[in-house]
Amino acid sequence: MPLFEPKPGTLRPLTGAGHRPAADRVPDARAQGTAQPLRGDLERLLGPGKVLSTISDLVRYASDASPYRFVPQAVVLAEDVADISAVLSYARGNGRDVVFRSAGTSLNGQAQGEDILVDVRRHWAGTEVLDPDGSRVRVRPGTTVFRTNAALAPYGRLLGPDPASAIACTVGGVVANNASGMTAGTTRNSYRTVSSLTAVLPSGTVVDTASPTAEEDLARAEPALCEGLMALKAEVEADQGLVARIRAKYELKNTNGYRLDAFLDGATPVEILRGLMVGSQGTLGFLAELVFDTLPLYRRTSTGLFFFPALSAAAAAVPRFTEAGAMAVELMDGNTLRASVSVSGVPQDWARLPQETTALLVEFRSPDDSSREECEQAVREVLAGLELVAPVASVTNELTRDAKTIAGYWKARKAFVTAVGGSRPSGTTLITEDFAVPPSRLAEACEALLELQRAHGFDAAVAGHAAHGNLHFLLAFDAAEPADVERYAAFMDEFCRMTVERFDGSLKAEHATGRNIAPFLELEWGARATELMWRIKRLLDPAGVLAPGVLLDRDPRAHLKGLKSIPGIEAPADPCIECGFCEPTCPSEDLTTTPRQRIVLRREMTRQAPGSPVNDSLLDSYGYDAVDTCAGDSTCKLDCPVGIDTGALMKKLRHARHSPREERAAERTARHFAGVERSARLAVAAADQLRGRLRGRGGDLGDRMLGKMTGAARRALRPDLVPAWLPEIPAAAARRLPATARTMAAAVYYPACVNRVFGDPEGYEGLSLPESMVIVSARAGRPVWIPDDVTGTCCATIWHSKGYVSGNTLMANRMVEAAWRWTDGGDLPLVVDASSCTLGIAEEVVPYLTPANRKLHERLTIFDSLVWAARELLSRLTVEQRVASAVLHPTCSMRHLGDEAELRQVAEACAEEVVVPLDAGCCAFAGDRGLLHEELTSAATVREAAEVTARSFDAHLSANRTCEIGLDHATGNRGYHSVIQELERATRPR
């Protein structure tokens, strides 16, 4: 046992004296995770590395973006089609069932099951543009919509479906649910734009609908299936009333049930199967690969957010905008607008909007300037005839081309679920539903819905794709209270009858049937069509292996089973609705847990009694799975629509695990940091000398010896305290910083402590970063000055990231006081040469400052070196020589600072071609976390590294030394260095 190993109990959630275990807690009998023989069977079938079986694993996969929670018996990380087929065969032979889960952003429990859950995200990412013009793209199901569109953007193309969750949802889930979004309507959705797909049927048969021999192959492998599909087709076509009903149902957006029009649109078994698979919600097979016909990406965008005095006035304007050529017309009612102020960037005065105010977000996209001018003229004519209101100062009711303004509008609209849901009462479960009515009856449907919500005691909030008659609404209730569940049940019964009987609408417009609407399928479709759907299920899945209850369920109260309670947890994370938007950006997503899962696990701990076996087991895992392997980069906050910073929560939990002795040691380190810094530089220099002496005696002998030494110390003390040795650790920095003069200096240059300790990567030939910064600034006529007493100062991130409050507080105040003195009370800007340190000094130190030092901090102007170079140097420099190509690594700190564009701007002065990998993200090196947990950086960088190493680049650039070490480790020491160093080389006189 390491000397400083923390006790798991220190992470136990705080509960009040009256705390009672929740009725839906995981029972004690499941504390050991997956039971035998299931665990052993799956491990023998697939290998132990593909089976997740601890109770922590099962609980974190039990929740998705829906109001349901079902704890699986086992989780399988399928790597290929062979794994899928093997699991399906096992399930058929053993009477088990299987649910596929990708991003877990489905809103109605489609990604949840109570038996074998198969993760089809982790190993299923990838895109391939098939045609020179990008008109077709092959996509693996675990790829996000956002990532796919990024790959298509250079070709001027995009996918048709555009759900609001595009940043997180995967293409496989989008097709499985036939999700559409703001602009897809009924013509650009997956059913209309998927040209072919590869599916694994419940029998294990693999069908590639694009294969020239697909029909013959399917007939040979599944003769009964082919015969059955054609018989159903003949039966449907013989019933002209049913044909008319099917066609009418799909004139509206409709994802409720199976696509019966597949029998009308498809002429052969394979064609019918392709249509049925779209929107089948994982109940008919697994979608292993998808080929889309892509659509033009019109880059000239004009957008307006227009406010109306009432819902009826807004609804009346919708057809006028669509006739003018609007690509999207989005409606937000007053409650939605007011709730969205919780989203960063949304004007705060929206909170004062009158309740009856309704807004339309209208967007036009044009292929060229002349088309855009025509669109804008048409919009101006429409606006001239409308009654708009401006009840608060931020409302302008103007059409704009400004990309930043447009992004803000869409951020507010796309955050509907999470913004309104995040403001729900603590402890309540969120239900998200969507339905469609004829667009001409939009206002009537809105008013009827709001009246129905009020009648059942729910706060009304409505938004939707107004051009398509598609409305979304939210309900919050306490799933732990039977009376509240019955109130919700009564509402759903009346809502479904209203939608079908009054409006002949779709109960699910784009979110797919799911568990919440499955009992109401027959209400919408009638007995004849519903029985056809049951026959389709039995034909393709006679053993009922796939996703029971997700689309078809005869139990009229099935939608009330598995509703999850939401116990209160730490205040910063309590608003989480488990939407999953945070997951794609999380560095530990493929290693341990994600921000959503960290919160899900905290909630399960709170459901439990303090000493329960389940709670003890969860606590044993949580230290490593959640706390230690969180990079603490807080990019989750940037992608969370309500700004939950799970990284900050993990830092607080790190602090909770510290003993008083550790806190005192951390404070002493801060107090005597000058000596610590010198010792660190000397240790790096000594290690490099040892490595150099042993290099000729066995290649990496020195690195192996250093690795053993640090490994022994890590085992003796604690892995989270002692850094490991990596071969990519560079030599020590020079003992002395460049000489500079205070007189005539345009800025104070602060070399971060990491750049005072570490030098450049092995093989790099050029000036050091401090030398480069000094020289290139002087060359531009903007000289910088390095204070003589920077040694012993730090941005405090070392302590902040580890949760050492006393050390963090001491160093934060020391840093600000020094910066105040160096800059003559803020008269000169402070330029920092590491982006994480810039973020630390500019933002992260603030909560730890004394009131007096906060006032000093407010007067400081702090520049990241990138911003200094882009704003102050580039225009004054002459580029003398460029490299042919450069690849960039934008750091997570750059995302927080908003200066990724400056990184590219400076790099473009240095290289003819500049590439940012599509999979670039946080490297998780996080100061020294990559040295404490090398496996975290390896997992976080694997996709970015694959892009970087797939071709050669002349320069590998970033602006944060530890991140550069992490990327060198991931890519095999490509020589990552600061873009400032490259700028000096590019502008050096010949």
1-15 pLDDT, tens per residue? Answer: 566 667 778 899 887
Strand, helix or coil for residue 287: strand
pLDDT of residue 588: 97
> What's the pLDDT at 90?
98
Q: What pLDDT is attached to residue 247?
A: 97
Position of tokens 């369920």?
A: 553
Query: Which overall architecture, per CATH, does domain 31-297+512-562 show?
Result: 2-Layer Sandwich (3.30)
Q: What is the pLDDT of residues 395-432, one digit of tens each?
A: 999 999 999 999 888 888 877 776 777 778 888 998 98
In CATH, what class is 879-986? alpha beta
| Average pLDDT, integer, range 626-652 | 92
Measured distance CA(235)–CA(862) in Å, rounded:
73
Looking at residue 718, its pLDDT comes to 62
Structural tokens at position 416: 């509907």
List the 194-200 sheet strands across, edge first.
Answer: 127-129, 136-139, 286-293, 194-200, 206-208
CA distance 803 to 461: 39
Q: What's the pTM?
A: 0.94
Q: How far apart are CA 206 and CA 209, in angstroms?
A: 10
Supply the pLDDT for residue 4: 63
Q: What are phi and psi of 170, to 5 degrees?
A: -100, 160
Domains 31-297+512-562 and 879-986 share a fold: no
Closest listed residue to residue 594, CA positions, set 934, 895, 940? 940
Q: Identify the band that residue 607 occupies on the pLDDT scale cut at 50, 70 and 90.
A: very high
Task: List pLDDT tens digits, range 970-985.
Answer: 999 999 999 999 999 9
Which region, left, alpha or beta, applies to residue 699 given φ > 0 means left and ψ of -120 to 50 means alpha?
A: left
Predicted confidence band at 912 (pLDDT cuts at 50, 70, 90)?
Answer: very high
What's the confidence (pLDDT) of residue 686? 84
Confidence of residue 67 (pLDDT cuts 50, 70, 90): very high
- Residue (of 144, 610, 272, 914) closest to 152 by Cα position: 144
Angle ∠(584,586,587) on CA atoms, nearest 5: 120
Helix, strand, or coil here: 375?
Answer: helix
- The answer to whether 823 touches 787, Cβ cutoff 8 Å, is no
Edge to edge, what strands does the sheet with 98-101 contain?
A: 51-52, 74-77, 116-119, 98-101
**Section 814-833 average pLDDT:** 97
Quick one: average pLDDT of 311-317?
92
- Compute the mean pLDDT over every residue in the chain, rounded to the nearest whole number: 93
Locate the DSSP E strands across 86-181: 98-101, 116-119, 127-129, 136-139, 157-158
Query: What pLDDT does residue 460 have?
Result: 72
pLDDT, residue 753, reads 94
Token pair 């706060």: residue: 459
In this prediction, residue 459 carries a pLDDT of 81
237 CA to centre of own chain: 44
- State yes or no: cis peptide before 482, omega within 30 of 0: no
Name the pLDDT band for 890 (thresholds 50, 70, 90): very high
Distance CA 257, CA 533 (A): 7
Higher-scoring residue by pLDDT: 450, 691: 450
The CA distance from 908 to 904, in Å, is: 6
Residues in the chain: 990
In degrees, to the nearest 5, what angle opens at C-alpha 813 toward C-alphas 810 and 815? Answer: 105
300-508 adopts what CATH topology? Vanillyl-alcohol Oxidase; Chain A, domain 3 (3.40.462)
The b-or-e profile of 563-576 (16+ CB within 10 A means b, else e) is: bbbbbebbebbbbb
Strands (E), 882-980: 883-888, 911-915, 955-958, 977-978
pLDDT tens digits, one per residue of 162-191: 998 999 999 999 999 999 988 898 999 999
Reply yes or no on whether the pLDDT at 315 is more than 70: yes
Range in 240-249, 613-622, 758-767 the model is least confident about: 758-767
- Whole-angstrom distance between the N-terminal and C-terminal Cα of the chain? 60
Q: What is the DSSP letter of 772?
A: H
Name which of 972, 984, 951, 916 is nearest 761 in CA terms. Answer: 972
- 693-710 per-position pLDDT tens digit: 766 555 566 666 666 766
**Strand extents, DSSP E, 421-516:** 429-436, 462-465, 470-477
For residue 212, report the phi and psi dihedrals to the nearest 5 degrees: -60, -25
Strands (E), 326-400: 328-332, 358-366, 399-400
Q: Angle at CA 767, nearest 5°, toward 765 and 770?
A: 145
User: What is the model's pLDDT at position 696?
Assistant: 58
Alpha carbon distances (Å) from 247 to 229, 244, 506, 535, 561: 19, 5, 13, 20, 33
Coarse DSSP helix, strand, coil percentages of the chain, rounded to the nearest 5 percent: 50, 15, 40
Q: Where are the domains of the chain?
A: 1-23+567-573+580-651, 31-297+512-562, 300-508, 671-871, 879-986
For residues 498 and 342, give the distance between their C-alpha atoms in angstroms, rounded to a whole number: 32
